[in-house]
Every structure is written in C-alpha cells, then in structure tokens.
Structure 1
Amino acid sequence: MFGGSVNYERLILSEESCWTGGPQEYASYWGGNVPRDQASQKQEAFARMQQTLAEKRILKPTMPFVKDVMGDEEGFGRQVEFGEITVEEVNLRESVRDYRRELDLEKGVARVSYFVDKTLYSREQFCSYPDAVCILRIQSSTPGSINIRVSLSTPHSTSAEYSNIHNRLGFKSHLDSNNLTIEAQVAVKTEGATGISLATSPQQIVLMGFDTVTLYYTFGTGWSANTFPEFANLDPHERLTGVLDKVVTGWYGDLVDKHLKDYGGLFSRFRLEFGVDQNDQGTSVGKNTLTTDQLVVKSHTGILPSSEEAHLETLLVQYSRYLLIASSRPGALPLTGNGIWASDDNIAATLSSRYGMNIGLQMQYWMAEMTDLGETVTPLIDYMEQLLQPRGQDTASILYNARGWTTQPFSNIWAHTGPLSDATAKDLFYFPAAAAWLCQHLWDRYLYSQDDKFLKDRAYKLMKGASLFWMDTLVKERGNGSLLSSPSQSPGHGPFTEGSALDQQLVFQLWDRTLEAVVSGPVNEKDKEFVQELTSKLATLSRGLKVGSWGQLQEWNLDLDDPHDRPAHLGPLYAVYPGDQIYLQQQDALQVVSREGEVPTMRELVEAARVSLRRLSAGSVSGEGKEFEQGWSRAWRAVTWARLNDGHQATRELDTFKRQNLVSSNLVPLSLKDLSGHVGYGAAVIEMLVQSPRPGNVNVLTCFEGLPDRWAKQGKVAGYRTRDGHIVTVEWKDRRVRSVELAAVLRKGAVNLRIATLMSGEGEGEGGRREVEMITVVMKGSKKPVQFVKDGDVLRLTVAKGSTYVVQIDLLEP
C-alpha cells in the first residue's frame, strides 16, 4: 500500500504468508483434526447427530452434544503485519501547487506529482510480477534537488536484525509465536554526480542532492506450500538477494516495459464503456472530470451527474479486476479477504485473515473468468491441490470414516480442514460442502480454458475426491429414500437438519459436473466402478429444489422458512447464481428430475426464487456484524437478480451497495474487512449486460428493460469470455443491441445467442410507426453471409474454431 502526502510516503509491506500459528507454534497441529486414536469418538459423535436428526428432524446448534463435533482454533493463527518503508523529505515543503495522487488502472502504476515554484517533483510506484520486485522512483526536474530519508522497520522487533550496507537496507526477524522467518531488502539506486548518501543508522539512509532516487524492494517469509505438512521454515535470504541483485544491475526502463507488458496484457483484455463518445481517431472519450474522492462523496450524497455515476460504476468493475491481477497470480496464495491490502489494526480483523469458504473466497473470483483473468484463479486451484485435498483426506477419514476429501468453512495457510469451535465462529463452524463449492471453480477453469490436460490431470482428481466424500456420508431420508446430507446447516442461519438446500444443490452440481468430466475426458479402468456408483447415487439424490408454503424456494429440506427473516447468506439461491440449476431460459422445460413426491417445474422454481429474493431484498440483513455482511450480501442479491433478468431489482441492490459500502476515497473497503463485495458488484454489473450461464448459451442485454438510463443510452462490453472460451463484444444504443462479435478462439460448435432486445414484430416505434430489424451475420473479414436460424430473440448458429462472427442489427424504416 502506497500512502502519504507531500513530505512523506509510507509503503506498507503486507506479505500473504506472514501468519502466526501452524505446527511450529502448536506442536500437535494437524489442520484441526484430532489424532487418529481419537477418530472413533468423533465418528460416534457424528453418528449420534445423524441418528438424532433422523428421529427429531431438527437440532438446535446450542444442544450440548453438538460440541462433540466441534473443533478448535489451536494453531490456526492469523495474518499479521510485516513491516514498512518510509520516505521523508529532509527539507519540508509548504508552498506546493498542483498536487496529485493517482493509480493508473490500465498500467498498474501509482503516481504522485506536485510543483514547488517551477520544480516538478514526481514519484512513480509499481510492483512487477515478472521480476518479483516493487519499485519506487523519485524524480525532480531541477538537478540535485532530491533530499530524502529512507527508513525500513518491522513491528516484529524483538528478534529483528537490521543491515545497512552500500545503500541496501534490510531486516531479518522471526514471528514470536512460531519463529517464522521474515525478511525485507531495499536497494537504493541514485542518479546525479553531486549527491551524497549517508548511512545514519542500521535502519536509515539519508540521500542529499540527487536528481533521481529509485528504491527496489522485495520481501518474503520462510513459509512454503512445498513443505506440507511439516511447513519447514526456509530461509528466504538467498532468494530475495538474488531478486535485488538482478534488478539493480538492469535498466529502469526495461523493468517498466516488462511490468507494463505483463500487467497490461491482462488488464486490457476486457473493457466496459457506458455513454461514451468517440473522437476523430475512434478512441473512447470519457466524460468524467472529477477525482475519485469527489466521485465517492457525490455518489454517496446522490448529487453525482449520470455520466460521472456511470464512470464510477465502470471504475469499480475495473478496480476489482486490478485487485485480482495485483494480488492473485500463479505462485501466490489465494486472496484472504482484504488481508494483504490491510494495514495496522485493519489486518487484525479475524475474518480478513481467513479463507471463508462458504461464500467469501468463492465470490472474490466471480469476475475472474468472465473478464478473461483465468490466470488469477490459479492460486485457488494450487491451494486446493497442494493443501486442502491432502489434509482434507485426513478430515474425511478421521471425522467421517469416509473416502475422498473435505474441508470446513474456514481455513488458513496451514491447511486447516477440520471444524472450528463455536466460541469464535458462532454458528459457522461446520460446512463440509465447502469443498464441493470450491470444485465449481475447477470446472469453470476447464470450460473457460477448454484445457483437456488440466481437466484430466488436475481438476478431475480433485472433483472425484470431493465426490467420494459425499458418496460415503449422505443418508437416506425416511419415507422416500432420497439421499440427504446430515448433519446439515445453512451457513450462519437456522438449526441443524437433514439436507439444507445449499448442501444438496452443491452436491448435485459437483456430482453432475464430475460425471460430465468423465464424458469430456478419458476414464481410467479403475474409475469405471466409481462412475457406476456415482451415477446410481446421483439418481437418488435430493437436489434441494423445493417450493415452500408461501411460494419460496426452501432453505431446508423441511419447510422451515420464516418470511420475516433477512439472513445475509442467500443459501438456496445458489441454484440461480453462481450455480445454474434454476435457469430462466429453460423455465418452460420439463419438470426437475427428483424422487420426491411433489416435483416443481422450472417455471415454478424460477418464480420461487423471485419470491425468496424479494423477501431477502425487502430490508436490511439480520444478525451480528450487519455492516460487514451487507457488502457481499448486497452484491450476491444483485447478481442473482441479474441472472433472473430483473434489471430494476439488480440496479436497486447495486445502488444500495454503493451507498453503504463506498466508504473510502481510494475505493479499498478496509473498514468492511472484505473485498468480495466489490468483486461481486462487478460480477453483477457484467451479468446485467452479458451472461454465459452454460456452455453453448450466450445471453446479451437480457436486463435491458431495467438498465439505468446512464447505461442504456449507449455502451459497449469488449472481451467478455464465455463458458465455451469464446470472446464476445457487444455494442448497444438506446436500449437496442446494434452488434455482437463472437470470436470462437478455442472450440467449434453450436451457439444459442439470445439477444433480448430483438423485437417480436409487434408494437409501434416512435411516432406510431413500426420499426423493422435487419439482421446479418458474416464472418469477420468476409462479406459472405453466415447461415443462422432466428427463433424469437435467439439466433442459432454453428461456429468454427479460429473464426470470428459479426452479428449486425440495423433498424430500418417499415
């Protein structure tokens, strides 16, 4: 984090693996699992709960013997602050003009500039993924006028050893709790023959009379996923020294070019524009003239003009993509709330330094694939493969006597997969369906990338293991024999029962996708028995899709929903988003396959989802920590309304989100301790414009009737990635789609392109005259028409891999 003022810059260093806890702090730490010689007691405790639920159907979390299935937090730890670099002006400046701080989202570069008299002072800061280094360059337009103090410090000072040799600052220290090694190094490179450098202390360098000063800094810990399960403490010194030795001997311009190519190559893949004009060169011309803090304040008070409001909304979408690119790259750990972006007391928030796997962790990656940032999902997949699966196999066998693997609602960098205790997690200590939810990202990574090798070598193995767990732990419902999870709890809400809707929906989606993976790739001979067993069990699985007494989508297998409840977690609406089991475009399809007596149709399920969502959207969420919950909960409601094509309700939720959650001038939601709401917000905006719920289906501007006027007048989405790996560009004007471009970059096949603004031929245009559409489809670079079939608002066409198709829609006089 790069913060400060005219005379002072503060670089807050936050390292994702700087955690307390683990086996070095708690010698018997085993990811929250009890020793194997205590496995029988845990298994008996779960069996008692299952038996009790089979008889009583409902079990309050406060019942005494529920404690027998709880875990503990011994050795869980938390992320802690790492250190900081400060840069101070020796000669304080008071007469300053044209001061400006900015973050360039297109380049991933932060800048500061100001004038003192006629001298321009500037600072440029970026973190380079290719070179594993952060850089701050300080310049002046007047030679010899840079006079600064550079200091390095860490709050872990008990064991800190500082060094200051040849303009290179450093510290090495250890966390008091677990002795984890942490180290930072700062190399200072100067330009200007008249300047002098003074090492005034082991922690500080004074630089006087230089033209340019560049700081190169890198830092890390002794943690490594490759040393699981012991997590050996590896000395990072040689690795960090090698990084700095390499970059300080290179050219600054080369480092900038590598950074821009890397970062810009990702960020530039997706564009979103609302109400833009074009200049003579065809380049988009933005209408905003306000600074970000002005945008936030005026939006919050409701006095922001519509064009600037649209700019703020596109800024939020792209800002979320920036956060993903900057903090979730191959070789990293997945995001922990806002942990790595936090500072001081913010980082101490419990939920900001945990992997919350009952919504938070997953929501933080909702935008990644659709905006063509699939690489940012890699840390999540690596984390599942390297840590959660191997430790989760222990949890499955010890707690449940089951095959496969599972994990619970919260985890850490030490691979915690067992339940937590009620003391710290309230009623959120238990959620074994977390693994099934995480597996959705594996399947999506395959769909968006069309990478058969990834599916065969990585995704399928993880999905199979998660499926095996549920094949061994589901119970038969009395009466009809449907398979249900037990014990089961809807996250953060209600009692333990058999078969909460979320559990059932997640297990169905996991099993269904695992079988689809078998069809998509080669099956080993040893898997044939597994496939047969899975197919048989899937046929008897309750899907968690029931319509309750007041028309709602039931949250539990029993009709327990209270219409006055406003839980933050949407539970049963997973089937709408991010799942796809309740699919609006198939509401006239056959009844949902189920063994249960009363089988709802898809149309009934869609309406039940709307009923539930209306009730949830009618007021504030309930429960403790309401302010915190509103961000991600509002965003989830918005994106679910968008999937149901209700633009009015989606817009209402998005506007409420902005009013309640844009609380800082730089958009970082530090006071809310979570980034997931911001990413969920971006997903909702995009879902209102383009959707790809299933392979072979692309829905364009399906929320057009409810789009805000500031969006609907004119707009463009470019670089949207579908679940076939296609890349889509859409342009619209006056609520009408004018063109769609589809690049079939990864596969061929049939595409159902639903364009909601296509007219049915009924109704009058302006002035009482009927408008007529002429639709043409051509292959890009050719004028030869491509055959397609129009069925209402759906265009059906077959695409060839490597070709781009352009759909042009013109409004003609009748």
Structure 2
Amino acid sequence: MKSPLYIFTIAVVLCGTANTKAQQSPLKLWYNQPAEKWTDALPIGNGTLGAMIYGGANSDRIQFNEQTLWTGEPRSYQRTGASTYLPTIRKLLFEGKRTEAEALAGKYFMGEKNGEDTYPARFDVWFKKVTANNNAILTTLNNKNWHDMKIPTTNGWESSGIAELAGLDGVVWLRNAFELPKGWTGKNLVIDLGRIRDMDITYINGKKIGSTDSTSVIRRYKIDGSLLKEGRNEIAIQVINPFDKGGLVGGKSGQKTFSIYPYGENPEDAITLNPVWQYWIQDYQPPASPRYQAEYQPFGDLILNFKQKGKLIDYKRDLDIGKAIATTSYTCNGIRFTRQYLASYPDKVIVIHLKADKAGQINLDALLQTPHKLSAVSKIDAHTIGLNLKVQKGVLKGASYLYATAKSGIIKVVDNHINITNADDVTLYLTAATSFKNYLDVSAKPEELCKQTLQTVKTKTFVNVKERSIKDYQKYFNTFSVNLGAGKNQNLPTNERIAQYSFTADPRLLSLYIQYARYLLIACSRPDSKLPANLQGIWNDQLVPPWGSKFTTNINLQMNYWSAEELNLSACIQPLFKMIGGLSTTGAKTAKVYYNAPGWVVHHNTDIWLGTAPIDAPTNGIWQSGAGWLCHHLWEHYLYTQDTSFLKQHYPEMKAAAQFFVSTLVHDPQTGYLISTPSTSPEHGGLVAGPAMDRQIIRDLFKNCITASQILKTDLAFRKTLEEKYMQIAPNKIGKYGQLQEWMEDRDDTTDTHRHVSHLWGVYPGTDITWDGNADIMKAAEKSFKYRGDEGTGWSLAWKVNLMARFKKGDHAMMLVNKLLSVAEIGNAKEKGGVYNNLFDAHPPFQIDGNFGGAAGIAEMLLQSQQGYIDLLPALPTAIANGEVKGICARGGFVLNLKWQNGKLMQVQVTSKAGGECLLKYGSISQRFKTIKGKSYSFNGELKAI
C-alpha cells in the first residue's frame, strides 16, 4: 500500500496562526429591525452557553441554552438477546426476503426504549383519569380559563407562539362554534377536521360523534341531524397527545379542512369554521412515553422590559463575528441607547452591557423565565435572581443566575425580577449549569456552579470581561481570512443581501458565509466543551426540537466538523474526539449484545447518554458504520497535524472499530466477497446486505489502521489480518447505467432523487474513490450524482457541493452554493432550503450542518490534499475569478496563503508546521520540496520559488 508523501513527518504541532489580516469590510450581520422570530435572532456562544439575541427596543428577549440540558437519564440502550436473531436476519436478506427480515429486526433487533415495559399500564391509568369527567368538563365550556389560539398549527401547538403550549404533552380541549345555515336543519352533516395529533374525542353540542387515535388519519365525522339545533352549535374536541407534537394540524397544502357540509353533498359547498379556536389545558403531565433516545432542551429566556417612552429612530442591530459581539442601538427622545451582548469563554458567562449617552436614563425590569413546567424563579441576593428547573422527561436539573450591577441608579429585586432605575450604564451577567457531569454521573450541583462563576466574574469590569473575551475568541478566529471581492449589495442589511443574493452582485456575502460558519463552530464547540455540536450546534428554543436536536452519526455529526481542519479550527474538534472515546465504551456493549463481536459499533444516532443501539426503524436505524466514519476524523486530524502523540492516544479506538468488522464481515454467497450485514444505505432502500457506503468506510478504516500501525510500529499481526481482509472486501461496482452501484445488486433507479448520496462517501469525505486511484470509478460516481440531481436542502445540498468540488466541476459546485444561499422563506410562503435571515441553514427547519458543510465545500474548491499532494485551485469557479485566502490548511501539516486573479494562481505561500516533504500541484505544474518546521516558502503562479 502506497502511503501519502506526508505521513512520515513526525512533528507534534497543530495548524497554527497564519499570517492573516482583517477583512477589508466589517465581518458583520446587521439589520434595521428587531428579530420577529427565532431564525431572525443572532447567535452567540462560548462552547457551553448559547443565546439568541432578538434585540427588541422596548422588550428584548435573550433565549439561552446550556449544552448539557437534555431529557433522559443514564441507562442501558441494548436489547438483551438481540444477537440470537442476527443469523436469521442475515439468512432472510441473502434469500431476498427483505420484508420478513425487516419485520424480524423491528421486533427483536432495535434498541430498548426507556420505560417501554411499564408504559402501557401507566398510560391506561392516566388515560382513564383524563377521560373520566368529560361530561362535567363540557358543562363548563364558558369558564374564564379558555384562551384563543389560531388553527391550524401545522407543526403542532408548539408552533402557535403561545408560551404555555411550548413542548406541551398531555390533554388540551379546543372549542369552536358554527351557525347552522337555513336549509340544513334536520340534515346529517360532515365535519372535516383534517389531521390531529394524536388522539381526539370530538363532541357536537355535548354529544360524542367520533374518536380516532392516529396522526395520519383525516378526521371526517358524520353529525346526525338530530344533534343539531337552529342557530349556534358548539364543537368541542379533547386532544390527547402523550408525546411529541400535538394539536389540530389541518391538511396538506390546498386541502380544505375545518369545514362542515351536508352529508353526501359537495364538500366544496362547505362552510368554514372560524380559524380562531379557544383552548384549555386539562393535563400536562402524561406518563413519560418510551423513547429510543433523549432530546436537547432549551434552558430559558432573559427578558428585558424597558420603560422608555417616545418614538424610536436610527435602530440597528448587528453581530460582529470578528469580535463575537452582538449590538443593539437606537435613539429615543434624543438619547442614544446601546446594548452589547457577548458569551465570554474565559469568564463562563453571557454578558449584556447597556449604556446611554446621557446620565440616569436606563430604566428596566430584568426577569428569567423558562418553558419547563417544573421550575421556579427566586431572589438570591440584592443583585441576583435565580432560575431552578428540572426536565420533565428525565433526571437532569438546572440552575441559572442573573446578576446585575450598575453605575449610579438603583437596583432592587422585586417579585422575582430585577428592577433597575435611573442608571448611567448597566451590566448583566447570566450563567447556567446542570447536574450533568458525564453520561454516567448526574451529581453536579448547578446552583453551586452558578454561584462560583458569578463570584469570580462580578469583581471584574465590563471592559475587562469584554477584552478577555475578544482576545480569547480571536486566537481561533484570526487564523484564517478570505476575500472574494466587493459588490454592489455589500452595504445592504443582511436580510436584504440574502433576498437579492447573486455572486456577481455580492461576492462579499460568500466570504461572510464562510467566516460565519467558523464563528458558529467556535461558539458551539470549544476544546473543553462537554459535548460536540449537535444538529443545531448549541442553540434550540423548543422542548420538542426537530429530530431531537441529537447527534446523527450517518452524516450530520460528522459534517459539523468537515470544515474544521481545513479552515484552521482544528482545536474545536476536541469535543468530538471526547465523544468518540465515550462511544467506544458504550458501543462495545452494543457490539457484544447485537453482534457477539469485539470492538465497538455506533448505529445512526446518539445522544448525551451515548446510546449506540439501533433506533427508529430497521429500514434506517440498523446501519453499522457510524464508528468507522467517526474514526475517519481521528485519522484526518493526524494527517492535518502530524501529531503522533494524538495518533498513539486514539489508535486503540481505531483498532477496536476495525476489530468489530474483522469479526462481523461475512462472505456474500453470490460473489464470495466480504460484506457487512444487516445494514442500510442511509436512509434509503431498506435493510440490505453490503451497501456500498459500508464497504467504502470499512476499507477506509482498515487502510488507516494499517498505516497508523506502521507509523506507531505496533500490531504487526493485526496489520496483516487487516491487509488480508482489505483485499477481500467487495469492490465498488459500475452498474448498467454506467453509475456507481449503491448496493451489491445493480438496482439503482435513474429517476431516484433521494436526498442521501451515501454510495458517494468514497468520493467525499472519504478517499476510497479518487481521480488518481481509479478514474473510471470516479466517472461512475459522477454519473450517479447526475442521476440523483442537484435538488436538495441543508446538509444534502452541502454534501453535493463538496462532491462537485472533488469531481473538479467548480461552476457546478458554485451553482449549488448559490442554492445554499437562497432565501429560505418569503413572507407566509412555506419554508424551503436556503438560509434564514440570520444566515442559519434551512433543511428546513434549521440544521447547522448545512452551514458547516457549505463552508467546507467552498474550501474544497480552493484547495484539496486528499491524494497525497496539495492541489491548488482544483475546482475554482468562473464566478470566483479573483480572490485571496490566508490560513487554509492542508494535510501534512501545511498552512497556505493563496492569491489568484482572472482565474489564475498568482502566488502561494506554504508554511510548514511539521517539517517533511511537500508536493504542490497546480494544473499540470508541480513542485516538490523539503520543508523545515516553522519555515515558510513562497512561489509564483508557475510554482517557481520567489
């Protein structure tokens, strides 16, 4: 096996600070109005605490998170006896009986849900209780406890904007009424209520007319004419929603729901119900429903209510990603008010500083609130209030303290909020902590942690805290810069720039997009963060977040870190490496219980408690290659840093992941090749044997372990085993359409446009398929891409950008980048892919992996180093004809500054962080030279030394 030129370097250093300068234009997102919704708000974070800044003038919301507040508890995720069924599942798949294999796997091979054995009995007791007094409830419909809600709520009542319904599980009554039209008297009617989550018991004038327990069934109930009366008729619906989203969802776009029409007559002649319904919460404490894995939780909100009166002018809010500071400013009654917000890593707090340009003008109330029902706010001391909470569906507790200090003025804690009057300036320090220590220990004392943090920080001035925060942040951020030119829209507010985006009009927005991804990674993943970035980084405002805001290991968790090495943020990957260490322990238990195998395995999702068993369904949850893909990041980190100490530390995790496959690979009865089974091609095509993605990842893992053992001079016998197995793994295959086969069988569909392109893993992020290694297979992969198509959203689109860069089709890759930067929402239109007003990526809804993956794709257009040399401008788009990048990293421990004009390389500087030999290529030109650690080497566009 031929090793890359650079793997023999031995220096132990990281990609360090490059010779970079600040961008020519301010690195800011800015707006002329406060945020109206969460995806307008601006994110700040210090790797543990995250906050979304709304910037309201009269009332400001700072929605905040702490990275370890999750549902669930330490527990075993494995289903005892699962390995007993493994031979039968494999046999069924080899016999072509996929349906039978999936049925068996669904029953015996999935992970255990928490509390699944006792849930039916607990639910029955609760259900009888909440339905026992329905007749009594119906007689009190006119009480004052009812409130208004607009229907439908397509994403559940959680999306209604009503605080008490946020994340609510339980029982909610909804009521409405209609006037019976003349001519309908005595007729039987139909009421169309669309879809309801989950169960409804529906009444007309106090009489039950129907009940359904399903999220997918359209409710169309017959109303007997004898139940109706002239004039007003009452509708009451008891909605029972024991978990996830609840409410009157309505129908698909264009469907007419919430209507009434005569039975047997044309539904188009229906009368439509008033969209404003009334609701009453009957119960919000159902028994905890069994869940495969835990969900990331919001912590709370800091609300600032100001007492200023008068017209506001010159409003502006912004986020300076060069300093990690958000600012809100405006003028009222001739007084200029300014607020600065930052999340300090050195001082472990979120800081808000308020000032006015005239003395004694700051007057406000500051309060803490949370969507968690089990919570309370109390006075801590004369300057501090505290929020205590416990998650309802788990064991974790949390505490948040808010401390206020002011120049002049008066501070009082009144009725569990802080009142500040006539101050010159004010500084607020917000901290939060949970009882989580690690995935096995929840004994931390959050109140004490908050007190300790405040005790230290409140002795410092705001200026000192701010300076420390900026200095700490910039040691990461200032290692890289990019300038792709100016444009006519660069001075517009960010939301307007997005709405009008085209590269020719605003190339600087693309530069901002790249740097924003780096900002987000620094904000949500610091070296000592307890967890890596989840599906939403560190930001979440929902008790039931999309996909649980977990760690999805069949691409999303890994994509969060695709750009980190190349864009000079290697240190920010440390939380991922820590998680890999934990998963290698929990995954070893899963490997034993499910496959009776050594080593470790991770299926397609994990959470704070490091569950590794299959979840959701056998068609997408039984996928074996999560550990192998995670180990790819360990090897990549070594390649970029040449850190042999790191490699020695993490080689055991790589080896153990490989041991699992050495034990579990079986011979395909049709071809004799070694394959993995059962597995899937995420999340496509059902349960199969030997999908291409598995084979590519396993080859990558074996190859990297072989090379690592050579570098570390260890494990000769195991290395030989891997070399033998490597040659027996089923190869990549070209199918009947000239495509790269996704499965062992040639069953790809050229009309299939599924969002996953899993069989192209070997092109990117892997190196199983390269132009130098096998151009024919590379061309087949590109044909597969063509059939799958350019459409996509979020992470899927970002993956395609990286693939097109590896195919060296720069203009095509740039077209996909433009899709990533399109408007995600326009007015009341349904969300689509693109970016929201705050540049968050829309899957939709928000998922942060698209931000990180998109930035990685642009970097791949400018530099690639996966084939053992540094390929300069390998996929430069026509649209980026002029530009400069400083601080971009290459495998081998090299940091580069590049400049190009009119689509041609002008100059490159290479700084060697590890020493060793370097090979540069630009088109047909190459330059090979030896380097000395710490020295820089400069070349012109012809790669001649200067």
Common fold by TM > 0.5? yes
Q: CA deviation at 1:61?
A: 6.5
Q: Secondary structure at the match of 2:95?
A: helix
Q: What is residue 572 of structure 2 aligned with on the other side?
A: 376
Matched, 1:475 2:692: no
- State the distance in 2 between where 1:113 and 1:138 align: 10
Q: Deviations over 1:53-82 (max 9, x none)?
A: 333385677545553222243252211221
Matched, 1:808 2:943: no
Taking the TM superposition and a 5 Å limit, the aligned residue runs for 1:635-654 are 635-654=798-817
Q: Secondary structure at the match of 1:56?
A: coil
**Which moved further from structure 2: 267-276 or 430-439?**
267-276
Matched, 1:717 2:885: yes
- State the distance in 2 between where 1:468 and 1:144 align: 69
Q: Secondary structure at the match of 1:340?
A: coil
Q: CA deviation at 1:468?
A: 0.7
Taking the TM superposition and a 5 Å limit, the aligned residue runs for 1:531-546 are 531-543=719-731, 545-546=732-733
Q: What is residue 413 of structure 2 aligned with on the other side?
A: 199
- State the distance in 2 between where 1:496 and 1:7 align: 55
Q: Deviations over 1:102-143 (max 9, x none)?
A: 000110000111122442211011101122111100011101
Matched, 1:440 2:632: yes
Q: What is residue 443 of structure 2 aligned with on the other side?
A: 233
Matched, 1:81 2:298: yes
Q: CA deviation at 1:654?
A: 1.6
One-letter identity of the residue aligned with 2:406: T
- State the distance in 2 between where 1:429 and 1:479 align: 25
- State the distance in 2 between where 1:58 and 1:178 align: 37
Cα distance change of structure 1 residues 534 and 254 upon mapping to structure 2, 3 Å threshold: same
Matched, 1:430 2:622: yes
More strand by share: 2
Q: What is residue 772 of structure 1 aligned with on the other side?
A: none
Q: What is residue 45 of structure 2 aligned with on the other side?
A: none
Q: Secondary structure at the match of 2:761?
A: helix
Q: CA deviation at 1:477?
A: 2.0
One-letter identity of the residue aligned with 1:427: T
Q: 1:15 aligns with which of 53, 59, 66?
A: 66
- State the distance in 2 between where 1:657 and 1:72 align: 38
Q: Secondary structure at the match of 2:769?
A: coil
One-letter identity of the residue aligned with 1:808: N
Q: CA deviation at 1:287?
A: 7.5
Matched, 1:150 2:338: no
For the Cα contact (< 8 Å) 1:395–1:418, is it kept in 2? yes
For the Cα contact (< 8 Å) 2:552–2:606, is it kept in 1? yes
Q: Deviations over 1:81-118 (max 9, x none)?
A: 211111111223x4222211000011000011112244
One-letter identity of the residue aligned with 1:446: Y
Q: Secondary structure at the match of 2:623?
A: coil
Root-mean-square deviation over aligned CA pairs: 2.1
Cα distance change of structure 1 residues 109 and 562 upon mapping to structure 2, 3 Å threshold: same
Q: Deviations over 1:280-314 (max 9, x none)?
A: xxxxx997211101101112xxxx57242x11111
User: TM-score, normalized by length of structure 2?
Assistant: 0.72
- State the distance in 2 between where 1:658 and 1:91 align: 38
For the Cα contact (< 8 Å) 1:296–1:662, is it kept in 2? no
Q: What is residue 859 of structure 2 aligned with on the other side?
A: 686
Q: What is residue 753 of structure 1 aligned with on the other side?
A: 920
Cα distance change of structure 1 residues 339 and 447 upon mapping to structure 2, 3 Å threshold: closer
- State the distance in 2 between where 1:264 and 1:520 align: 34
- State the distance in 1 between where 2:478 and 2:101 align: 49
For the Cα contact (< 8 Å) 2:642–2:893, is it kept in 1? yes
Matched, 1:798 2:936: no
One-letter identity of the residue aligned with 1:265: K
One-letter identity of the residue aligned with 1:258: R
For the Cα contact (< 8 Å) 2:297–2:541, is it kept in 1? no
- State the distance in 1 between where 2:315 and 2:931 align: 53
Q: CA deviation at 1:265?
A: 1.2
For the Cα contact (< 8 Å) 1:112–1:123, is it kept in 2? yes
Q: CA deviation at 1:151?
A: 0.6
Q: Deviations over 1:214-257 (max 9, x none)?
A: 001110110111xx43x333212222211111111023222112
Taking the TM superposition and a 5 Å limit, the aligned residue runs for 1:211-226 are 211-225=424-438
Q: What is residue 480 of structure 2 aligned with on the other side?
A: 270
Matched, 1:556 2:743: yes
Taking the TM superposition and a 5 Å limit, the aligned residue runs for 1:383-402 are 383-385=579-581, 387-402=582-597
Q: What is residue 78 of structure 2 aligned with on the other side?
A: 33
Q: What is residue 530 of structure 1 aligned with on the other side?
A: 718
- State the distance in 2 between where 1:444 and 1:339 align: 22
- State the distance in 1 between where 2:753 and 2:460 align: 58
For the Cα contact (< 8 Å) 1:692–1:698, is it kept in 2? yes
One-letter identity of the residue aligned with 1:421: D
- State the distance in 2 between where 1:578 and 1:339 align: 20
Cα distance change of structure 1 residues 45 and 61 upon mapping to structure 2, 3 Å threshold: closer
Q: 1:732 aligns with which of 891, 894, 900?
A: 900
Q: Secondary structure at the match of 2:316?
A: strand
Q: What is residue 95 of structure 2 aligned with on the other side?
A: 55
Q: CA deviation at 1:476?
A: 1.0
Matched, 1:316 2:476: no
Cα distance change of structure 1 residues 645 and 61 upon mapping to structure 2, 3 Å threshold: farther
One-letter identity of the residue aligned with 1:520: I
Q: 2:405 aligns with which of 183, 186, 189?
A: 189
One-letter identity of the residue aligned with 2:90: Q
Q: What is residue 43 of structure 1 aligned with on the other side?
A: 83
Q: What is residue 776 of structure 1 aligned with on the other side?
A: none
Matched, 1:175 2:338: no
One-letter identity of the residue aligned with 2:874: T
Q: What is residue 279 of structure 1 aligned with on the other side?
A: none
- State the distance in 2 between where 1:6 and 1:338 align: 27
For the Cα contact (< 8 Å) 2:752–2:788, is it kept in 1? yes
One-letter identity of the residue aligned with 1:342: N
Gaps of 5+ in 2: 1-51, 115-290, 823-831
Q: CA deviation at 1:317?
A: 1.0
Q: Deviations over 1:754-779 (max 9, x none)?
A: 113xxxxxxxxxxxxxxxxxxxxxxx
Q: What is residue 453 of structure 1 aligned with on the other side?
A: 645
Q: Secondary structure at the match of 1:428?
A: helix
Q: CA deviation at 1:185?
A: 0.7
For the Cα contact (< 8 Å) 1:57–1:498, is it kept in 2? no
For the Cα contact (< 8 Å) 2:55–2:328, is it kept in 1? no
Q: CA deviation at 1:662?
A: 3.4
Q: Secondary structure at the match of 1:214?
A: strand
Q: CA deviation at 1:679?
A: 1.2
Q: What is residue 575 of structure 1 aligned with on the other side?
A: 762
Q: Secondary structure at the match of 1:371?
A: coil
For the Cα contact (< 8 Å) 2:764–2:802, is it kept in 1? yes
Q: What is residue 516 of structure 1 aligned with on the other side?
A: 707
- State the distance in 1 between where 2:106 and 2:394 align: 31
Q: Secondary structure at the match of 1:677?
A: helix
- State the distance in 2 between where 1:11 and 1:744 align: 44
